[in-house]
Amino acid sequence: MAAFIPVVRSLISLPAGMSRFSLARFSFYTILGTAIWNTVLIYAGRFAGNAYQQVVQEFEGLSLIVLIAFCAIAAAVYLLKKKGMIFKKYFFAFDLDKS
């Protein structure tokens, strides 16, 4: 999901590395996410055509809302996990407690 949010996409490798996420698995998901995202953007641009500026204006506010919501959810998950309220079996890929 992080591949769809520009700022998060740039920073997602930090928690993945800290949690000792497999490089092969991370690369696979990164390439897959990037391919899907770029395909969506290419076709969206093609269909938008001359109305590109109007489309950008319509989605500008939405992207900020999505970014804020994602950050809030990520913070809530982190805090709940830190307090032991979320079990590891649900978030096995990103174990923040590893040394």
Q: What is the mean pLDDT of residues 53-59?
A: 78
What pLDDT is recorded for position 99?
A: 47
Q: What is the mean pLDDT of residues 28-38?
A: 85
- Specify whether the CB–CB gap between 73 and 91 falls below 8 A: no
CA distance 81 to 77: 6
What pLDDT is recorded for position 34?
A: 83
Q: What is the mean pLDDT of residues 77-98?
A: 62
Q: Is 96 left (phi over 0), alpha (psi -120 to 50) or beta?
A: alpha
Torsion of CA 94, 23, 6, 47, to 10 degrees: -120
- Place 41 in a pLDDT band, splitting at 50, 70 and 90: confident
